[in-house]
């Protein structure tokens, strides 16, 4: 892995890292610091507008965001760059990432842009791009946009006079997305009598998510629906489940639903307040789709981070599991290549490709509620479809992302752990694509032993690459 140190271009313009502007999920970093500053946003706006010019028609690019304070700054800089290249900007305001993908394709726009750092704290921000069909961009397209942003668009290629772009606001975008989501829920059902604790992480879904469930008849107890620009993901949402779980038991709710800052992830809890992660949600939905003959090619797509118990549970039901690298974009790529209907991640990204083109937490919650209605069973019973193998996760903040096997002491420990685990466990070490963090995952038969392995590996990573593990 390469160093994360920054360096300026010759003209003193935008900053890039030695690994480039783009990470595994668009551009992300500390707000108002390169690459998440106004200068880079303006350059990216120009670059994406130039990239998606495809004829003489008036081009349109949808721009939405989550609730971070820095979203205003990035939004205006992006719009300036887009308009300077003769494309029109369609502002949709705070809206979940999957909602922006939906609006982009439903409006036949040329591209979509999401300003969000997803589950990261408010001090970070990010920019993600969708093509006209609502899919995240391929690596080669991102590389070309990055090149255009760094090199700059020559002044002679920028339009003037009436050819400069306009900016308009799409006021009914939230309503369109709400209606789309409701149409994914079986018309034969209502949620009358169902009590849901809904945690929107003070993020992009704070308006649309409660509206969807209430309009279908549910009683909604809201958590994390009062954003102030700095409280997004703070002690709430899919990474902080304590409030959700306690609220479910306190309010005698049937289910809890937690979304992240841009609502492309979902984690749930049952009526007893027990957490239901992405692996269990995938297993439930795959089994339901197969029994209704809607699981194309009898295959579920997951990543290397999903628990081995998922493979076992699916095999018992005649369902294949295809594994990909971490990241919903890789899951979606595999789904498109193999014509698969369902994919996701343990972390909560759920992709129902027959409905939407990216992870959609609200949509996934509706599908699980439909299964509850179909089966007439509580979530605690439904979630028994999968009993996870013992698994330990540790995160280590690092100063750089050096290849781990190039460090002799660490390479030796990795080899020893892999030998001991054999075929009865797994070891996954990787770097986050959006933060300076090394992630350690150990899975095996003994909780005590895998905890020891994970602690040892995290300690060595910290010793050679950074600071102490943060858990």
Catalytic residue among 70, 84, 118, 347: 118
Model pTM greater than 0.85? yes
- Which CATH number applies to 6-170: 3.40.120.10, 3.40.190.10, 3.30.950.10, 3.40.366.30? 3.40.120.10
Same fold, 6-170 and 391-469: no
Cβ atoms of 266 and 328 within 8 Å: the answer is: no
List, for residues 382-436, the tens digit of each pLDDT value: 999 999 999 999 999 999 888 898 999 999 999 999 999 988 888 999 888 777 8
In 3D space, the residue among 282, 254, 234 whose CA is nearest the CA of residue 117 turns out to be: 234
**d(C-alpha 41, C-alpha 23), whole Å:** 15
108 DSSP assignment: T
CATH code, residues 177-385 = 3.40.120.10
Q: What is the pLDDT along the chain (471 residues), one digit of tens a residue?
A: 232 223 223 223 443 443 478 887 899 999 999 999 999 999 999 999 999 987 778 899 999 999 999 999 999 999 999 999 999 999 999 999 999 999 999 999 999 999 999 999 999 999 999 999 999 999 899 999 999 999 999 999 999 999 999 999 999 999 999 999 999 999 999 999 999 999 999 999 999 999 999 999 999 999 999 999 999 999 999 999 999 999 999 999 999 999 999 999 999 999 999 999 999 999 999 999 999 999 999 999 999 999 999 999 999 999 999 999 988 999 999 999 999 999 999 999 999 999 999 999 999 999 999 999 999 999 999 999 999 999 999 999 999 888 898 999 999 999 999 999 988 888 999 888 777 899 999 999 899 999 999 999 999 999 999 864 444
Order of strands, edge to edge, in the sheet holding 195-199? 219-223, 195-199, 255-259, 266-269, 275-276
Per-residue model confidence (pLDDT) at position 467: 60
**Domain-wise residue ranges, the chain:** 6-170, 177-385, 391-469
Establish whether 205 is a catalytic residue.
no
Residue 385 CA, chain-centre distance (Å), reads 25
Q: Which CATH class is domain 391-469?
A: alpha beta
What per-residue string of b and e applies to 282-313 under the rule 16 or more CB within 10 Å gives b? Answer: bbbbbbbbbeeeebeeebbbbbebbbbbbbeb
**d(C-alpha 148, C-alpha 16), whole Å:** 13
Residue 3 CA, chain-centre distance (Å), reads 25
Query: What is the helix (H) or strand (E) element at residue 300, kind and residue range?
Result: strand 299-303
List, for residues 222-241, the tens digit of each pLDDT value: 999 999 999 999 999 999 99
Per-residue model confidence (pLDDT) at position 3: 29
Query: What is the helix (H) or strand (E) element at residue 94, kind and residue range?
Result: strand 88-94
Q: How far is CA 406 from CA 143, 245, 414, 436, 461, in A?
A: 28, 42, 11, 18, 12
Alpha helices in 31-182 (DSSP H): 38-51, 71-84, 97-106, 139-151, 173-182
């Amino acid at each position: 892995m390469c160093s994360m140190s920054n360096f300026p271009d010759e003209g003193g313009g935008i900053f890039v890292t030695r690994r480039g502007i783009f990470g595994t999920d668009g551009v992300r970093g500390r707000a108002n610091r390169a690459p998440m500053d106004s200068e880079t946003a303006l350059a990216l706006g120009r670059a994406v507008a130039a990239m998606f010019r495809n004829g003489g028609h008036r081009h349109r690019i949808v721009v939405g965001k989550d609730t971070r304070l820095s979203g205003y700054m990035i939004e205006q800089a992006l719009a300036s760059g887009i308009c300077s290249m003769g494309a029109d900007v369609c502002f949709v305001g705070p809206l979940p990432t999957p909602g922006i993908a939906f609006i982009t394709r439903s409006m036949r726009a040329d591209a979509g842009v999401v300003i969000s750092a997803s589950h990261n704290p408010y001090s970070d921000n990010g920019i993600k791009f969708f093509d006209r069909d609502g899919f995240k961009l391929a690596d080669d397209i991102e590389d070309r946009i990055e090149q255009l942003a760094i090199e700059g668009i020559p002044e002679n290629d920028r339009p003037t006079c009436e050819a400069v772009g306009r900016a308009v606001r799409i006021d009914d975008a939230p309503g369109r997305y709400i209606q789309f989501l409701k149409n994914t829920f079986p018309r034969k059902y209502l949620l009358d009598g169902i009590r849901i604790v809904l945690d929107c992480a003070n993020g992009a879904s704070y308006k649309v998510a409660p509206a969807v469930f209430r309009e279908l008849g549910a009683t909604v107890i809201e958590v994390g629906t009062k954003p102030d620009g700095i409280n997004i993901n703070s002690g709430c949402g899919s990474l902080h489940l304590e409030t959700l779980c306690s609220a479910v038991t306190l309010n005698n709710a049937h289910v809890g639903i937690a979304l992240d800052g841009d609502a492309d992830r979902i984690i749930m809890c049952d009526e007893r307040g027990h957490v239901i992660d992405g692996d269990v949600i995938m297993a439930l939905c795959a089994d339901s789709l197969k029994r209704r003959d809607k699981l194309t090619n009898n295959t579920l797509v997951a990543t290397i981070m999903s628990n081995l118990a998922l493979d076992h549970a699916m095999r018992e039901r005649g369902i294949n599991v295809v594994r990909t690298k971490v990241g919903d974009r890789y899951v979606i790529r595999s789904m498109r290549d193999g014509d698969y209907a369902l994919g996701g991640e343990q972390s909560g990204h759920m992709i129902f490709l027959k409905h939407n083109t990216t992870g959609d937490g609200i949509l996934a919650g509706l599908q699980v509620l439909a299964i509850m209605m179909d089966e007439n069973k509580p979530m605690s019973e439904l979630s028994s479809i999968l009993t996870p193998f013992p698994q330990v996760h540790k995160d280590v903040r690092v100063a750089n992302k050096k290849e781990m096997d190039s460090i002799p002491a660490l390479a030796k420990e990795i080899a020893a752990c892999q030998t001991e685990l054999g075929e009865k466990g797994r070891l996954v070490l990787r770097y986050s694509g959006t933060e300076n963090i090394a992630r350690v995952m150990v899975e095996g038969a003994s909780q005590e032993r895998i905890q020891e392995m994970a602690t040892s590996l995290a300690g060595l990573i910290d010793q050679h690459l950074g600071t102490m593990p943060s858990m």
